Structure 1
Amino acid sequence: MKETPAAEGNGASTTPMDKVADIGRDIGEYIRLQRNNAKISLRQLSKLAGVSNPYLSQIERGVRKPSAEILQQIAKGLRISAEALYVQAGLLDLPSGGPVPDAIRADTELSERQKQVLLDVYESFRRENRAARTSDTDTQPEE
């Protein structure tokens, strides 16, 4: 059996196809984690998302990389944001926001809905504080 050039040397493979395969595995693992957190069977998610059971199984195992449309259907079935799946699949960049939003998004113990609620609350506090600071500077007497 002949070794491919990407696998020569230290044994690490970094071809573009390997990266695509890694993304497929990552999104599949993420979907499985979200499905398990929601306590939904593969068959149930298949029905909710309108995706065949074998195809969904292949996605979770990293054999297939789903399209944006399929990700949207899966997100609907899981009741999570399609954006979360797009980010995980590498179709969108992770929104920036600093250490607190990043920590919330990275927490694997929270559901996507819980993450979104926390992010909404956090942003509402930040807006409130900005508004308070603005009104404080507007009402201070000039010297």
Structure 2
Amino acid sequence: MASLNVGNLGEYLREQRRTAQLSLRQLADAAGVSNPYLSQIERGLRKPSAEVLQQVAKALRISAETLYVRAGILDEKEREELETRAVILADPSINERQKQVLLQIYDSFRKENAADAAEQAAAAPDAAPPSS
């Protein structure tokens, strides 16, 4: 897990708030946090919890996982995996059994690809690691 990059998170939140055309007070009210606390987060002075980030994300109508990545709580690969799973689970056109089967297939592909990548890395120890 990465360390918290609160400054980057604060800048990003301020940008998202402005894009949504919300004042600091409006976003604080919508997220259920105090105005001074949100201001401190935006200025990089506070480290918000995952719960607070989730509330702010909901108020901004953006992905909580995106904020988790910005805050260093979650890495990019974990975010992509969670979002993929969320999309599968939210699809109303397939039933629960089909969703579970699809997730099992997804997991098996991820494991197979990880094993292949590890095998390739072991075969070429002097080569640079693959970038994603």
> Could you tell me the TM-score, scaled by structure 1's length?
0.51
Cα deviations by residue, 1:86-110 (Å, 9 ceiling, x for unpaired): 01111111138xxxx9xxxxxxxxx
After superposition, the C-alpha distances for 1:38-62 in whole angstroms (9 at most, x for unaligned) are 1111000001000000000000000
- Segments of 5+ residues of structure 2 without an aligned counterpart are 81-132
Give the 3-state SS of the residue equivalent to 2:76 in structure 1: coil
Match of 2:71 in 1: 89
CA distance in 1, matches of 2:77, 2:42: 24
Q: How many residues align?
A: 78
Identity between Structure 1 and Structure 2 (%):
65
Q: Is 1:34 aligned with 2:16?
A: yes
Q: CA RMSD in A?
A: 2.0
Q: Give the secondary-structure state (helix, strand or coil) at the position aligned to 1:95.
A: helix
Partner of 1:141: none
- Structure showing greater Rg: 1
What is residue 50 of structure 2 aligned with on the other side? 68
Listed as ranges, the matches of 1:96-135 within 5 Å are none
Aligned to 2:28, which of 39, 46, 71? 46
Give runs of ≥4 in structure 1 deviating > 6 Å: none
Give, as a single letter, the amino acid of the residue that structure 2 aligns with 1:74: V
**SS of the residue 1:27 aligns to:** helix
Which of 55, 59, 62 is the matching residue for 1:80? 62
Distance 1:24 1:84 in 2: 14
Compute the TM-score of the two structures, normalised by the length of structure 2.
Answer: 0.55
Relative contact order, higher structure (CA 8 A, sep 6+): 2
